[in-house]
């Protein structure tokens, strides 16, 4: 059974930085596209970024472009989201999700990790 486990969330001050991790198991991670999707408290879903299977191809939402960087280590079955210049509006649960190709559906989601940006 596909398993995705996020970690690294927490409380951070505005302007601060944080690194989220997503550890994958029970599927071929190196053959999968991966995305980060976030959900503000009581809110809807917002796609943040995706990364291709080799790690060479990434795309991100305008709201995080220039501040967030997505990367992966296929040897460690791990996905990362480096977040800098954090703002209050970045407060959300961050999910990692697996998909076959860039515009394929999100077949599996992690449980999420909460990021709170507050002074």
What residues make contact with other proteins under the rule CB under 8 A? 35, 37, 44-47, 49-50, 59-62, 95, 102-103, 105-107, 109-112
The whole-angstrom separation of Cα 99 and Cα 19 is: 22
Query: At its nearest, how many Å lie between other proteins and the CB of residue 56?
Result: 15
Q: 62 vs 89, which CB is nearer to other proteins? A: 62
For residue 38, CA distances in Å to 13, 28, 43, 94 come to 18, 24, 10, 4
Q: 14 vs 40, which CB is nearer to other proteins? A: 40
Query: At its nearest, how many Å lie between other proteins and the CB of residue 79?
Result: 15
The whole-angstrom separation of Cα 77 and Cα 22 is: 8
């Amino acid at each position: 059974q596909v398993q995705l486990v996020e970690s690294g969330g927490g409380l951070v001050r505005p302007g601060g930085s944080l690194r989220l991790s997503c550890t994958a198991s029970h599927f071929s991670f190196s053959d999968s596209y991966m995305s980060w999707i976030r959900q503000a408290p009581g809110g809807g879903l917002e796609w943040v970024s995706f990364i291709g299977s080799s790690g060479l191809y990434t795309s991100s939402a305008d709201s995080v472009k220039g501040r967030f960087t997505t990367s992966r280590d296929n040897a460690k079955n791990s996905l990362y989201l480096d977040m800098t210049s954090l703002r209050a509006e970045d407060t959300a649960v961050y999910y990692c999700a697996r998909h076959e190709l860039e515009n394929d559906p999100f077949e599996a989601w992690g449980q999420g990790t909460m990021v709170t940006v507050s002074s």
